[in-house]
Amino acid sequence: MIYEVRTYTLRPGTVDEFESRFEKRHPYREKYSKLGAFWHTDFGTLNQVIHVWEYDDLDHRARAREAANNDPDLEKNPNGREFVVEQQSEIVTPASFMHPLGSRDYGSGNVYEMRTYTYEPGGIPKVLAAWSEAVPRREEYSPLAGCWTTEFGGLNRFTHVWVYKDLNERNKVRAEARQAGAWPPRAGVSPIRQENKVLIAAAFSPVK
C-alpha cells in the first residue's frame, strides 16, 4: 500500500468553500480509491488543505485518477480549481508500525500536529528502526495517526502526525513523555531540517 499526500495552497478566504465542494464530490471520487484523511492548516503555512489518498500501488493510482477524470458525476460538481494557488504531491510509504489512516477512532474535535523531518541520505532506515521500538511507549501519551517516508517528491523526508485534544494537551504530553524518557527515540542521527503544521480535520475526513 502507498499513500499520495496532496497539499494545495488556496487563496485566502476560500478554504471553507473548497472543503464544501470537496465534500460534495467525495462520494463519487471514493468509488475509485479511498480517502485516508483531509485536513486544513491552523498553524504553519496557512490556507492549505492536505488530502491523503490510499492506493494499492502506482498502477492503481493511475487507473483511479483516469477513471475519476472521466466520471460524469464529478464533472457536474465544481472542484474549486480556481481557488488553488499551488499544488504539491508526494507518494509516500507508511511505516511498518503505522495503523492505516481511518482504522482507529480518535473521537472528534481534535488537533493534529504534522511534523516533517529531513535527514541526510541514508539516515531514514535508522530512524524507522528506532521509532519502531519507541512508538508503543510514546502512544501511551497520545496516538500516532500517521507516519511515512517519501518515495516521490522531497526525498529523505520523514513525516509523523500526532493526535491531541487541543494544544494545551500537546504541550503537556510532549513534556511528560520527554520527562519519562519515553521520547524522543535514540536513532543516532539528527534531522537537518524540521517543520511542523497544526491541522484541523474536515467533517467528512475518515481521520477526525
Asked whether the beta carbons of 159 and 147 are under 8 A apart, the reply is: yes
Q: In the structure grid, which three cell numbers stand for residue 143, read together?
A: 496516538
Q: What share of the chain is helix, strand, coil (3-state, %, to 5)?
A: 30, 35, 35
Domains of the chain, first to last: 2-201 (3.30.70.100)
Q: State pTM to two decimals.
A: 0.95
The rounded Cα 125 to chain-centroid distance in angstroms is 20
Tens-level pLDDT at each residue, the chain (208 residues): 999 999 999 999 999 999 999 999 999 999 999 999 999 999 999 999 999 999 999 999 999 999 999 999 999 999 999 999 999 999 999 999 999 999 999 998 999 999 999 999 999 999 999 999 999 999 999 999 999 999 999 999 999 999 999 999 999 999 999 999 999 999 999 999 999 999 999 999 999 8
Determine phi and psi for 106, rounding to 5 degrees: -100, 5
pLDDT in the model for residue 48: 98
- CA 184, CA 160: separation in Å to the nearest integer? 13
Provide the pLDDT for residue 167.
Answer: 97
Cell digits for 66? 483516469
pLDDT of residue 208: 86
